[in-house]
Amino acid sequence: MNGNLLELSNIRVSYGHAEVLHGVSLAIKPGSIVTVIGANGAGKTTLLNAVMGIVPAKGTILYDGASVPHSVEARVAAGLCLVPEKRELFSTMSVEDNVELGGFLRNASERAQTREELYTRFPRLAERRKQLAGTLSGGERQMLALARALMSRPRLLLLDEPSLGLAPKIVADILNIVSELRTTGVSILLVEQNARAALEIADEGYLVELGEVKRSGPAGELAVDPALMESYLGSPA
């Protein structure tokens, strides 16, 4: 026990014979935001899926100092929650039902309380309670995916490309919400291609390339690293 909420060591994931993660190690302290940045196909999504238990992984995943439970559902019960890149909403069900189902493992009073908090935080969703999730705009869907995840009262939120396909204004909104979440005690593992924006709100950063961690350190240091800037951040705005 060394105070980390999540500790990955030497995580390897293979699809068939092709190994896509070659021993990734990473640690998240309670209440911090850690971001994993890197190009398309670097293995970022696979890493999140391994943490969530969607793909089988070799290596050790310690959660709260103990070995993480085996199944996806048991990990949700333990306080891990993934917002996947494709959102995976229940598109033919109402916004309200989507939010409600997020709290499937919580009791009725916890659900009612969290739901009210969330509708205050996301007034757009409150307005559209009765609408089907499939009819929402991209930004609203991302908010609904976040709200659904928060209904489970996670201790560690795994976010996969929350800014993907969204307008810059909405990206800023979403990332604002993410950094606010930290104040409520939720730790966050944020996977992003939008490296500059991610490093701005994160405490620690990891650069993943072709299934390996190439660089890691405090987000502030990575953001000003000249080599990194050239390949991932572009010239400063």
Residue ranges in contact with another protein by CB under 8 A? 52, 54, 71-73, 76-77, 81-82, 84, 88-93, 97, 100-105, 148-149, 151-152
Closest approach of another protein to the CB of residue 236, in Å: 37
Nearer to another protein, 116 or 230 (CB): 116
Closest approach of another protein to the CB of residue 11, in Å: 20
Nearer to another protein, 87 or 128 (CB): 87
Nearer to another protein, 97 or 221 (CB): 97
C-alpha separations of 68 from 62, 64, 107, 216 in Å? 6, 8, 23, 24
Closest approach of another protein to the CB of residue 211, in Å: 23
Closest approach of another protein to the CB of residue 98, in Å: 8
Closest approach of another protein to the CB of residue 189, in Å: 15
Nearer to another protein, 83 or 174 (CB): 83
Closest approach of another protein to the CB of residue 75, in Å: 9
Nearer to another protein, 152 or 187 (CB): 152
Nearer to another protein, 102 or 205 (CB): 102
